[in-house]
Amino acid sequence: MAGGDIARATLNITMPIIPIVVPLLVHFFFVSFALVDFWLPDCYFFSHLILLIVGLWAVKDKTSIQAVIVFIIVLLMTGLFDIVILSLYFESNNTTSRRKFAEAMCIINLLLKPATLLFAVYAVYVRNGSLNCFSGLGDQYNILRGSATVENPSPSAPAQ
C-alpha cells in the first residue's frame, strides 16, 4: 500500500459533515465556558443543549436536508434567546472575574452564530445541490391534491 492509500483509508470524514461539525464543536466550547458561572437561566442551557442535539442529528444523517433545516431554525431561535438573555441578565458592574469571563464567552458565542448559519446554509447547498431547500414540497402537495377529498372519499384512479 502506498502512503496516499493509507491516508485515504484512515481519513473517512466526508465533506458534507465538516461544515456542521466544526461550528458545533466551537459552540460547545463557548457554551461550556459561558456556563462556568451560575448567572444564566436554565433556558440558556436547555436551548443550547437542543442545538447540540439537533447538530449531532445533522452530522449523523449525512443526506438529510431536514436535519440541517431544523439545525438552522434552532440556531436562529438560540440567537434570539441569547440576545434576550444577555439584555436581561448582563451586568456591567459585576465584580468577579469568573462572571466577566462567562459573559464574554456568551457574547462570543452569540457573535459566532452568523458564521455558523453560513456553514449550515453551505451544508444545505452541498446536500441538496442548490439552495432551494423547499423544491420537493410542491411535488408532495400536488400528489396530495389528487388524492381523497371530501366530495370524493376515494382517490381517483389515473385515466387510461
Cβ–Cβ contacts within 10 Å for residue 56, how many? 15
Distance CA 17, CA 61 (A): 9
Q: Are 62 and 125 in contact (CB under 8 A)?
A: no
* DSSP secondary structure letter of residue 16: G
Cβ–Cβ contacts within 10 Å for residue 68, how many? 29
Average pLDDT over residues 123-142: 64
Q: What share of the chain is helix, strand, coil (3-state, %, to 5)?
A: 70, 0, 30
Average pLDDT over residues 76-96: 88
Q: Are 70 and 133 in contact (CB under 8 A)?
A: no
Cβ-based neighbours of 89, under 8 Å, separated by 6 or more: 39, 40, 41
Give the pLDDT confidence score for residue 48 in this predicted structure.
94
Please state, for a pLDDT cut of 90, what percent of the chain lies above it: 34
- 13 vs 153, residue with greater confidence: 153
Question: Which tens digits make up the pLDDT trace of 12-66?
Answer: 445 556 778 889 999 999 999 999 888 888 889 999 999 999 999 998 888 888 8
Residue showing cell 436535519: 67
Distance CA 88, CA 5 (A): 55
Q: Is the pLDDT of residue 111 over 50?
A: yes
* DSSP secondary structure letter of residue 130: S
